[in-house]
Chains A and B, each alone.
Chain A
Amino acid sequence: MRVISAHELFETLGATKLKALTAKPQVMTGLPALDCLPPGGGFVSGAVHEVLSDGRQAHLLPLLIARAAAEQGWVVWCDLNREFYPPAAMAVGLNLSRLLILQSANAKEETWAATECLRCSGVSACVVSMDALTFLQARRFQLAAERGSGIGILLRPMQAISQPYAAVTRWLATPAPGKRNVQHEHLKLIHGHGGHIGQSVLLEVSRETNHVRAVSTVANRAGETKMDAISA
């Protein structure tokens, strides 16, 4: 048996981690204001990204990533609740001929299926909604994604914010008051080494054209911090 020293292990670990951030290809959503937030200026492939939202309802960011990923391979959407609505996904721009919908019988089967999908090199993105997630399973997803070099997108409930995770980036998605014909969603990067943590972006979806726009909220945030400083 080959003996490996702790130092050597640390070195290789460091190297792979670095590799994960620098050499991995990325998926760009095509919305510059959104793409500039995660580390490396895009959604890293071969990694898991988490989207936290109230009731795991935020489907917009996963759709945007899947839309871009569909150009490189297959997109798998795990639809346990049978709520995924393909016409709307297509209206946002997802290529349905590269989309596989999985309707598993239960969450356990779905977890297995999602891991298998992530491990497959033909899958460029796999979207799965996960209520409870152990660290072991989170790590398993991450390792599977590294092997298959696709993107794993986990839809998590808001309560998961304090739970362990193994994702490269975590996003907080909250609805924001919009206009009559425009829906607003607030996206905040809450984890991602080397990314603009704490910064957010506003997604605007036009109800008339289904066109999605990302607006940077940096200016607003600067104003907020100034206000905070004054009040402090």
Chain B
Amino acid sequence: MLVGRIASRQVVFHACDIAIARGVRAGMTLAEATALCRGLVHGDHDPQRNARSLQAFAQWMIRFSPVVEASLPDSIYLDVTGTERLYGGLERLCRLVSESLKKLRFSTRIAIAPTPGAAWAVASFGRRDRAIIAESGVSEALAGLSVAALRLEPEILESLDALGIETIGQLMILPRKSLPKRFGAPLLKRLDQALGLIAEPLVPVRFRRRIEAALEFESPVESLEMLWEALNRLIAEVTDALKTQGRGAKRLVLEFTSSDASRTQKEIHLSQASADSAKLFNLIRLASEAVKTETGFVAIAIKVQASEKLTHEQMSLLHKVSREAERDFVDLTERLALRLGENAVRVAELVPHHVPERAFRLLKFDSPSSMALKSELPSPCHKARPLRLLPTPTEVRCMIYPLSDEEGIPVSFMLKGQSFQLAHARGPERITGPWCEGRDKTREYFDVEDKAGKRFWLFRISETRKWYLHGYF
């Protein structure tokens, strides 16, 4: 069951047959539904995801007919005109579709009718799960159905209900001329569409061929050079296919089949869609270096899993960097991320936080254009901060002056057996830890310089009196 949120209420959008049999209806609140049906399983209603899956489903349905329309929220129209001969009759087609959908664990209602409107009406409100309406039987089939089968707005349905008009048959008896005046133009349009008096063309989903290329070898191939040569051919195939669609690959999967039939997959993410064979080859070569085999490969394949329409690249006007160099840099980051790992390629962002190690954040590198937009930076910190900050402070032994005073300033300290005599010490700068996380100790930072001129950043935890080295200037 799918549950969506309207204001503060959780409302049922869709329910399965079992739930409906127990009395759950769309529009109920979740509480009502659970009261009716114990042990109810529900998920969030995500209209966008629903639309995406319906589109994908429509793509899948293209196997039955070249013209397929996905209609939200839950209908798919197929134009099956002229396919009788191919499938050996409409009954067989109907059975074929319903059986293959059953295998995908979809419960469906199928109707074949001369008009999309009639097909929808019979599929949604007809008595049987599968129905085929002949050309001559449309008005007869519709007459007994509820007016809701005409795909009408709720307001029109309400006013029809108020007048006691329940079936399409009752509606058809009424004088045609009076209908638009009473109930608005859409009613007559829908009625005519269902009866086939006006045309209702389908808006077909565009068929997108999945782009992939594969090669099998006669004998297992071990040499990297030979693999690369083979990959080169596959890339040429893939980029040709991409270019004819005007698209660029965004995510690729390399699949290597070893001679023991085990498969290794390697995914490549591109930050900018590309159909450039040289660039793809470089990335794929890098990715294939990491794939190891004992026995050699018998087959390789490249699959484009996500692609994007290629647009004219935007010039980054904010900086005087030429387009080519910028593209070169994007290529570089992709190679780096592939070999070093995505977490190794970072950009820094300052964060207004008083604790030194929290004052910045390392983010994954995105595309340069988004980086350029972020160039509005906070004003730099004017306090003394070291160029090198140790990831974890090192404990040091420190002498203070005056000795008796716990608040004394450092005069020398020992680090790794080496003693540093201090000439200057600035401080203390008191920084309290994030107390909300239970780290409420206060650090007293000193910017110190030894006699040779080396500068360190030391701190003392005022509660424990222990000294630490935190960075080098």
Contact = CB atoms under 8 A, between A and B. Distances in A.
Contacts of B423: 177
A207 interface: yes
Contacts of A104: 340, 344
A216 interface: no
Contact of A83 (B325, B331, B390): B390
Interface stretch (A18-26, A28-36, A160-168, A180-188): A180-188
A89 B452 CA distance: 23
Given A85-B389, A105-B341, A209 B382 contact: yes
Contact of A122 (B329, B382, B452, B471): B329
A60 B380 CA distance: 17
Contacts of B451: 177
A117 interface: yes
Contacts of B371: 97-98
Interface residues of A, number: 56
Nearest to B321: A73
Interface residues on B, range: 35 or more
B237 to A, nearest CB: 28
A208 B328 contact: no
Interface string A99-115: 11111110001001100
A59 B339 contact: no
Contact of B347 (A57, A83, A101, A177): A101
A33 to B, nearest CB: 18
Contacts of B447: 207
Contacts of A90: 350, 377, 380-381
B387 A60 contact: yes
A95 interface: yes
B284 to A, nearest CB: 16
Contacts of A178: 424, 449, 453, 455
Interface string A137-181: 000000000000000000000000000000000000011111111
A99 B382 contact: no
Contacts of A208: 382
Contacts of B466: none
Nearest to A103: B344
A96 B350 contact: yes
A135 interface: no
Contact of B385 (A63, A88, A116): A88
A102 B341 contact: no
A90 B349 CA distance: 10
A176 B450 CA distance: 10
B365 interface: yes
Contact of B328 (A122, A174, A179): A122
Given A90-B350, A97-B372, A120-B328, A59 B382 contact: no
B344 A175 contact: no
Given A57-B388, A59-B388, A96-B349, A175 B339 contact: no
Ranked nearest first, the 4 interchain pairs of A and B with the lowest CB-CB distance are: A122-B329, A175-B453, A86-B348, A85-B389
Interface of A: 57, 59-60, 63, 71-74, 81-92, 95-105, 109, 112-113, 116-117, 120-123, 174-181, 183-185, 205, 207-210
8 contacts: A84-B387, A85-B387, A90-B350, A96-B350, A116-B332, A122-B326, A180-B424, A210-B380
